[in-house]
Amino acid sequence: MLCMRRIAAILAVALAMGLSIPARAAADNDRFVLLVSGASGDPAYATTFRRWVDALTTMLHDRFQYAADHVVVLTETPKAGESKATADGVRQAIAALKPRLTATDQLVVILIGHGSDDASGAKFNLVGPDLTVKDWSELLASVPGHLAVVDTTSASFPFLAGLSGHDRVIITATNSVAQRYATVFPDAFIQALSSDAADLDKNGRVSLLEAFTTASRTVAQHYEQGGIMATEIALLDDNGDGKGTIAGTENAADGNVAAVTYLQGAAAQTSTDPETQRLLTRQRELTDQIDALRRRRGEMAADEYNRTLEGLLTELATVSHDVRQRQGQ
Amino acid sequence: MSMNDMTRRDREPAWWRLGLLTVALGLSIVSMGAQGRRGGTTTTDPIYQVRAALAHGDVSMARDLAANAPGGPARRALATALVEIFEGKDADARARLQPIAAANPLGDAALELGLLEVRTGHRDEGRRLLNALASVRTFSTPDDYLRLARAARGNREYLLANDAFQRVADVARPDIQTEWGDLFLERHMPGEAVTSYRLALKADERWVPAIVGLARALANDDPEQSRQDFAAAKAIAPDHPELWLATAEQALDDNDVDAAVDALDALGRVKPGSLDEAALRAAVAYKREGMAGAETAAARVHDLNPESALGYRAAAEQAARDYRFDDAAVLARKATAIDAEDSLAFFDLGLDLLRTGEEADARTALETSWNLDDSARLTKNLLQLLDHLDTFTVVPHGPFIFKFAPDEAAVLEAYALPLADEAYRQYTERYGFTPKGPILVEVFPSHDDFAVRTFGLPGLYGALGACFGRVIAMDSPHARPPGDFSWQATLWHELAHVFTLQLSDYRVPRWLTEGISVYEEHRRNPAWGRELTLQYARALNKGQTFGVKKLPDAFKHPESLAMAYFEASLVVEHLVALNGENGLRTLLLAYKNGATDTDAFSRAFGTNVDDVEASFQAFVQKQYGALAAAMGDPPRQVDANDIDGLRARAEAAPGNFVSQLTFGQALFRMQDLAGARAPLERAAQLAPEASGDGSPHMLLAAIAKQDGDTTRARRELRALLTYDHTNVVAARELAQLATDAKATDDEDFALRLVADLDPFDADTHTRLAQRLMARAEYAPAAVELQATLALGPANPAEAHADLAEVYLKMNKRDDAKREALAALEVAPTFARAQDLLLQASAR
């Protein structure tokens, strides 16, 4: 069970750091997703994996307005527009994506299926020969732009250290090599990506940090409420140290980049009406001031902090209310 | 003074039997040779032979052996003294032992004399003798170690005694193993004692002290075996003093005072004037005449040994056995005044004070006990528990003082306090009685902490709560897997005990107080207290129920306890049906005035137990007869995979639950869902109370879901949960189905059930709050949202905003503003929270 303190810690990371950094990959055509659903090994898993792939692709296209060619899908049994989830298929897909990506673009790689770990290293199980974490590291090494990898599989833990790097978000469903059972994290993560409840800062979008946090909570509940021992605990690394952080960790070293990494694009508000634009400008100023104030919280007396915060929040509420009124909302 | 964990860990004794202790002994060990390990020639020693004859209860042979013991006059005198001690002729024995002990202060005579002196009130002289023996560090035979062990135990140097026993742990001698068992038993370690006694009996199956020790050690955990052991001892040596003493103890445990007196009289005949007899007579006197009687009897103990606290201790134990912990504490305190070095007396006092809720004084007593004996596991456990309790959140509330674990307090407070208030209000009115308070309710997230609070030891796995009259200890929902039990039913149950125990001045028999508590559960919630309905119906079908007259005995057997609780509640239900609720009060008052079962029924209802028995049987048949008929054994055994056989049996026995259910389950397993429906429906009709994953309603719900008929699935789950009230998995499933279908009645029912069973589920509180807000029930919605926030909601901004909205509806603007600001601190651009802030700020 998560306690309030843990949730507050999650938010502290997102708020203290996230809002002061411009959201990345703002334009729709700058964002790409590579979705690989590997070998299922069992009809029941095949059904489940297919359901997750379909849910994700539908979300990306319909809800997040991704262009068809910005979502590359490799599966065990490809449907129209999909490719075979083989090692060669992965190599070709990444090779095809590289020239399309610029330094400001964003690629999110999502792995669904089974993982394994043996003497030859951790692997993501594909149709035919697998790719080890080392193979993936080499394949992704020269990808331009911002990279996020979400490995939702069993035995995914070694991918955290293996793929960790500067300005990269790496999420794994497990946090130790001993966690080798099928995971429920992918289901929770996909649900979180499109859930209003996962939008913890209520900015209208779910960041990878918010999805990770919400999914981790769902996974923990799954095991706790079922009265069964948890066989998976997800990790996030985005500071490049390859160590990873569990959701809810206080004063976490990770989370700053994931907090501003979104699958969904942002619509920056502007107006041709001068008064509305003035209000929007003031709205942004106030938001920035609130962010700055919260970062200084530890240095301020509680009374002064609360008084200043209340003033700023009240003015922001008034301005935002006026904006909404002028926009007819 | 409070000892922190580190200090206590430092003081923690090593694991006794494994012998991790290091005392001076280790440096001078003389390894026992193979001959020594077997006991060897020692068993041919005339002294040993006398001891063996006495252990077999053959006093005559012991006398003959003593009279003819070889080895000179001193050996004969020692052997004779052993017989005299056995027969209670301490003065004769003393005179015989003194010259031998003077000549050899490190011999067996000195040991026996030292123990005798301590037992008879000459502690200084006894200690002088025993100290010399306990200082010996040169050993060559098992007898040397045994002598050291007995001397150390007599001196209350328990670790040293244990260490000495460990050196001869593999010596197959009944006297050594029995003495070690006695040490374990005295140290509240019955499991270890059993091991030692069994080793003793392996060496000599007729060693009566070992048989009696085994019977004592098993009395709680395996009463049937204990009874058999008593019988075995009686067959070998019907007049053995230890047997009579243990028989008296057991009779007091069984609340049979007359039998206890008979046994003590017999003990007095075979061993007149013993301290043990006098002490147990203090227990009897307390039972019969209360405190005044105990005082008189304790004076007799004082005459025998002015330094002994045994009389008051025995009386205190009896008072505690009778749940009269105030008296027990008074008596135990007197025991500590007589013998300020008796760690067990201080331990008893500490335990009694814990049960009266006087925890600060309990700590003082337990600390003293610990300082006297830092090898006592129970003392250590209780002190650690008190340290742990110091971290709990204390919530005084009306007649109650609640103690919750810090991370559970906010949520449990919101739920437990109103429930306790409701119970208190109902019980006060129903029983016309206001109990003495404050009523201390301690709720433990760790079951082992609850068990230690209750008995000093971890374990106690079948128990959920305990009531000592003014003190309740219980498991919190975290103490067990989700859906394992209803903590609310437990609290309701234990609170009923507060009233029945106190109203009857703690004289209510166990069957009645438990019966009333379970009945009260059922009265509060028809599903509570009826979890064993099917098992009871099956027992009824087989003629294996207890009836009114056999119920008290059923409570003495662990294997029949659960069913006894259930049937006792039916008896109470029947008595209420016959005589009204006031009848219960009358019955409790009859017990308060000292009535036996027979008298109480006569006084309360003007009828006798036989009449009540007859009407109860008619009541049970009327209420459960049809169900009992359905719960009979199926007409024949059929393999679970023999579908044709199962079908034929189901067709042949349409009124048999098992036949219908197993056929339906088999078809379900084979994915013949359409076929499974009919037998499962029939089974559900025959026994709607069936619960669990394999129950008819659960399977019918699964079939309905697979058919896409969620309305039917909800109906089946609702029917299941009507009885299966702790099935949190089914409740969550119903809640989700109901939410999806916007079936608010089912949703409200299921969410309430989940929140009650698992109050630490923040999401359920959130959803429940939303439902309450939709129904404009703002005050309860606020409670749910506060619980959500205490637990850590999935979305804190939304939870704060919801609470702000609720406060606005309740016109609590300042609270609403505070919550809106809290939401906006997390999510500054959250439009709904912004609007709520502006509304709350508008004046």
**Alpha-carbon distance B756 to B731, whole Å?**
11
pLDDT at B171: 92
Across the range A8-13, mean pLDDT stands at: 38
- B24-56 core/surface letters (b: 16 or more CB in 10 A; e: else): ebeeeeeebeeebbbbbebbebbbbbbbbbbbb
B827·A1 Cβ contact <8 A: no
Among chain B residues, CA nearest to A310:
B821
Q: For residue B202, give the amino acid letter.
A: K
Q: How confident is the model at residue A2 (pLDDT cuts 50, 70, 90)?
A: very low
Q: Quote the pLDDT of residue B18.
A: 42
Contacts of A227 in chain B (CB under 8 A): 481-484
pTM: 0.84
* Residue B482 to residue A1, Cβ atoms within 8 A: no
Contact B229, B214 (CB under 8 A): yes
Question: pLDDT digits over B459-486, tens only?
Answer: 888 899 999 999 999 999 999 988 899 9
pLDDT value at B580 more than 60:
yes
Residues B57-96: tens digit of each pLDDT = 999 999 999 999 988 999 999 999 999 999 999 999 999 9
Task: Give contacts of B840 with chain A, Cβ < 8 Å.
Answer: none
Give the integer Cα–Cα distance in Å for B670 and B267.
68
Mean local confidence (pLDDT), B576-580: 89
Instruction: Quote the pLDDT of residue A152.
Output: 97
3-state SS of A195-237 is: CHHHCCCCCCCCEHHHHHHHHHHHHHHHHHHHCCCCCCCCEEE
Q: Is pLDDT above 80 for B602?
A: yes
Q: What is the mean pLDDT of residues B16-36?
A: 38
Mutate to test the interface with B, among A202, A203, A297 (most CBs of B within 10 A): A202
Confidence of residue A328 (pLDDT cuts 50, 70, 90): confident
Query: Tens digit of pLDDT for each residue in A146-192?
Result: 999 999 999 999 999 999 998 899 999 999 887 778 899 999 999 99
Which of A199, A203, A321 lies nearest to residue B835, judging by beta carbons? A321
* Distance, CA of A128 to CA of B658 (rounded, Å): 50
Nearest-angstrom CA–CA distance, B495 and B439: 9
Portion of chain B with pLDDT greater than 70, in percent: 95
* Mean pLDDT for the stretch of residues A210-219: 96
Q: For residue range B426-438, what is the model confidence (pLDDT) as tens digits?
A: 999 999 999 998 9
Mean pLDDT to the nearest integer, B757-766: 94
Question: Is B412 a residue whose pLDDT tops 60?
Answer: yes
Q: Cβ(B189)–Cβ(B377) under 8 Å? A: yes
**Most B CBs within 10 Å: which of A7, A219, A308, as the mutation test of the B interface?**
A7
Residues of B with CB under 8 A from a CB of A: 407, 481-484, 728-729, 732, 758, 760-763, 789-798, 821, 824-831, 833-835, 837-838, 841
B721/chain A closest Cα distance in angstroms: 17
Look-up of token digits 């929902």: B477
The residue of B795, B814, B821 whose CB has the most chain A CBs within 10 angstroms, and thus the best one to mutate to test that interface, is B795
B436-459 pLDDT per residue, tens = 989 999 999 999 999 999 988 888
Check CB contact under 8 Å for A214 and B794: yes
Report the run of H or E that residue B473 belongs to, with start and end.
Answer: strand B471-475
Classify B238 as helix, strand or coil.
coil
pLDDT in the model for residue B153: 95
User: Six-digit token pair at B511?
Assistant: 């069957």
Looking at beta carbons, which residues of chain A come within 8 Å of B826?
A: 11, 15, 200-202
Give the Cα separation of A226 and A219 in Å (integer).
11
What is the band of B727 on the pLDDT scale with cuts at 50, 70, 90?
very high
pLDDT digits (tens, 9 = 90+) for A51-98: 999 999 999 999 999 999 999 999 999 999 999 999 999 999 999 999
Which residues of chain B does A314 touch, with a Cβ-Cβ cutoff of 8 Å?
837-838, 841
Helix (H, G, I), strand (E, B) or coil at B213: helix
pLDDT of residue B460: 82
Chain A residue with minimum CA distance to B834: A317
Q: How far apart are CA B421 and CA B229, in angstroms?
A: 48
pLDDT band of B39, cuts 50, 70, 90: very low
Close Cβ partners of A34 (under 8 Å, ≥ 6 residues apart): A72, A74, A93, A94, A97, A107, A108, A109, A110
> Tokens 């916007």 — which residue?
B742
Whether B188 shows a pLDDT value over 90: the answer reads no
pLDDT at position B5 is 31
Nearest to residue B317, comparing CAs of B292, B347, B342? B347
Closest CB to B732 among A201, A225, A313: A225
pLDDT at A138: 95
Chain A interface residues facing chain B, Cβ-Cβ under 8 Å?
A: 1-8, 11, 15, 197-203, 214, 217, 221, 224-227, 286-287, 290, 294, 309-310, 313-314, 316-318, 320-321, 324
Q: What is the pLDDT of residue B843?
A: 60
Residue pair B385/B453 in contact (Cβ under 8 Å)? The answer is yes
Mean model confidence pLDDT for chain B: 92
On the CB side of A111, CA atoms within 13 Å amount to: 32
Q: Is the pLDDT of residue B33 over 70?
A: no
Task: Name which of A68, A87, A86 is nearest A76 in CA terms.
Answer: A86
Least confident residue range of A137-151, A263-277, B232-246, B796-810: A263-277
A258 to chain B nearest CA, in Å?
17
State both tokens at B377. Answer: 């596991």
Model confidence at A29, pLDDT cuts 50, 70, 90, reads: very low
Task: Report residue B220's pLDDT band, with 50, 70 and 90 as the boundaries.
Answer: confident
The per-residue pLDDT for range A269-313, each reduced to its tens digit, is 788 899 999 999 999 999 889 888 887 887 889 999 999 999 999
CB A263 within 8 Å of CB A26: no
Residue B42 is predicted with a pLDDT of 56
Chain B environment of A284 (Cβ under 8 Å): none
pLDDT tens digits, one per residue of B635-686:
999 999 899 999 999 999 999 999 999 999 999 999 999 999 999 999 999 9
Contact (CB, 8 A) for B632 and B656: yes
Instruction: Give B256-310 pLDDT, tens digit per residue.
Output: 999 999 999 999 999 999 999 999 999 999 999 999 999 999 999 999 999 999 9
